[in-house]
Amino acid sequence: MRLKEVVLFLAAFMYFAASSASAAPGNAENGKTIYMKKCWWCHGKEGEADGPGAEFMIPPPRDFSLGMYKYKTSTVDRVVVRDEDIFDMITYGMPGTSMPSWKEVLNDQERWDLVAFVKSLTDMFEGADNPPALDLSKKVSSSADSIEKGKKAYDDAKCWECHGKEGKGDLMKKLKEDSGSRVWPRNLAKPWTFRVSNNPEDIYARVTNGIPGTPMTSFAAETTGNGKLSEEDRWHVSNYVASLADPNRATKQGQIVVKAIQTEALPADENDPAWEGFEGTAYFLVPQIIAAERFFIPSNDLVIVKAAFTENEIAFLLEIDDRTKSVPGNSDAAAIAWGNLTPDALAIQTPVVIPDSAEKPYFGHGDASHPVSMLYWNSGSTESGQIAKMMTTTGLGKMEASDVAAAGFTATSTYNAGTWKVMMKRSLATNNPEKDTQFVAGKYIPIAFANWDGSNGEAGSKHTMTTWYWLLLKPQTGSSVVLLPLAVLLVLVGGQVWISGRMKNKA
């Protein structure tokens, strides 16, 4: 065995050693006891994915009675999953789903006991040994050359039909699982949504094995062509996919303030390169479950916000990855949508009266004592074009339109490669302070965001939203901030030198 092969073999061995424990015997009876306490609520008492929580989950919980698992590292020719794969799913959970990590709740043996029990819920494992792992010994290390080859292979294999030209999951056709459940392709720019990880080894396993039960098929073949990929090209594609990770599309711990920066002139529109000079802040979107009609099956998960202001105006740039451009009247969009196609929409919520304390209005559109001002945009229809509104709300469903023209409110938008960019702009102050927020610099202003994905059946109260965060209009820092302390320092130092000199003369 040549040195290179030895190194790759050891790397593959170390990868699997790090990513999963070696299979250990489990006690199915003990596993059943644990299952009936922890798992049946979603997976059902017989493992048929019919627990009381199942109807609120997208994707639905695994049906253990089928013995089919989506994420496996066994060889292509083996249908059943490896014990280590089941153990890892229990241990680390499934990011982006309702399946949590049980690592801190159950010890190793208890998790192996669960593996033994869930395998007993189907006859798929009867008489079957634990299959071998995929051979990773021919791994191609990531490099600029490999990534370039991976992009070409990605294009040639038409991965973009589901994952989009830039990998953001802006699909061209409606997808559903074998169970009939809807499925949205993974946004490859957001590796934190990958069910397992974005390690090239795990991506290679997905490309090689596919994801059983979904439209993601196996691309494994001896040679590249006819929609299949050779082993080498699957490694190139894996390196390319891993390279698409965009750190700007991840939230950062502790970032709770949208910092609006003062500038001489606002960017002209949402595509103005000037926006690149402003820091964006990402916030998670969660489904609205506060009031009826509640919503449990979101598709969009993140909004990125930038803000700028001048002496008289403020502008927000909202970016949101949305797999579909939902404009009612568009037949292509309607063909992809789940349910009635409604417009995509975004909203910004701020209190009409900026609080002097940490107190915020009631999250659900405020109340009569604490009204909320809302900036709202939607994609409209093929007939109407986009729509921009300003509203004042005094509780759920209690809205009053504000004078858009008087507030100088405008909204412009662009949809490209799976991302909406929406710029909203208005005057800092209006002539209606009882209805509109009067933005001022230097104060922390509560702010929240909401989103509706029109291809996901979202309309009215069915949408996603953030919690309250803060908006701070930061004035430009003048030279006096630097020069004044410097002047004081020079005076102090000079004074000390003078006093020291006087003392020496006296001595």
Q: Name the pLDDT band for 273 (thresholds 50, 70, 90).
A: very high
Q: Name the pLDDT band for 3 (thresholds 50, 70, 90).
A: very low
pLDDT, one tens digit per residue, over 252-270 is 888 899 999 999 999 999 9
Residue pair 414/271 in contact (Cβ under 8 Å)? The answer is: yes
Q: What is the pLDDT of residue 39?
A: 97
The DSSP result for 154-219, as a single string, is HHHTTTHHHH-TTSS---SS--B-TTS-B-----TT-GGG-SS---HHHHHHHHHH--TTSS----
Q: What is the pLDDT of residue 499?
A: 62
Q: What is the pLDDT of residue 100?
A: 94
Q: What is the pLDDT of residue 495?
A: 62
Q: Is it the case that residue 220 has pLDDT exceeding 70?
A: yes
Q: Which has more pLDDT, 170 or 2?
A: 170
How far is residue 433's CA from residue 162's CA, in Å, rounded to a whole number?
48
Q: What is the pLDDT of residue 182?
A: 85
Helices (H) and strands (E) in the chain, counts: 12, 14
Q: Which has more pLDDT, 378 or 21?
A: 378
φ, ψ of residue 506 in degrees (nearest 5): -65, -35
Q: Is it the case that residue 409 has pLDDT exceeding 90?
A: yes
What does the pLDDT average to over 365-387?
Answer: 95
φ, ψ of residue 375 in degrees (nearest 5): -100, 125
Which one-letter amino acid corresponds to residue 173?
K
φ, ψ of residue 157 in degrees (nearest 5): -85, 0
Kindly report the length of the chain.
507
pLDDT, one tens digit per residue, over 238-254 is 999 999 999 988 888 88
54-58, 89-93, 408-412: segment of lowest average pLDDT = 54-58
Q: What is the pLDDT of residue 17?
A: 47
Q: What is the pLDDT of residue 10?
A: 47
How far is residue 174's CA from residue 177's CA, in Å, rounded to a whole number?
11
Q: Is it the case that residue 121 has pLDDT exceeding 50?
A: yes
| Average pLDDT taken over every residue of the chain | 90
pTM beyond 0.75: the answer is: yes
Q: Is it the case that residue 329 has pLDDT exceeding 80?
A: yes
How far is residue 380's CA from residue 373's CA, in Å, rounded to a whole number?
21
Q: Which residues pair with 448 in a beta bridge?
A: 349
Q: What is the pLDDT of residue 493?
A: 59
What does the pLDDT average to over 487-506?
Answer: 60
17-26, 336-345, 455-464: segment of lowest average pLDDT = 17-26
pLDDT, one tens digit per residue, over 124-152 is 999 889 999 999 999 999 999 999 999 99
Q: What is the pLDDT of residue 297?
A: 85
What does the pLDDT average to over 349-358?
Answer: 92
Q: Which has more pLDDT, 361 or 480?
A: 361
pLDDT, one tens digit per residue, over 447-486 is 999 999 999 999 999 999 999 999 999 987 655 544 555 5
Q: CA angle, 495 as apex, 492 and 499 as ends, to 5°?
A: 140
Q: What is the pLDDT of residue 459?
A: 93
φ, ψ of residue 326 in degrees (nearest 5): -95, 105
What does the pLDDT average to over 333-342?
Answer: 92
φ, ψ of residue 112 in degrees (nearest 5): -70, -35
How far is residue 25's CA from residue 83's CA, in Å, rounded to a whole number?
10
Q: Which residues pair with 283 in a beta bridge?
A: 303
How far is residue 165's CA from residue 162's CA, in Å, rounded to a whole number?
9
User: How many of the other CB atoms lie within 10 Å of CB of 219?
Assistant: 21
**400 CB burial (10 A radius; 0-12, 13-18, 19+):** exposed
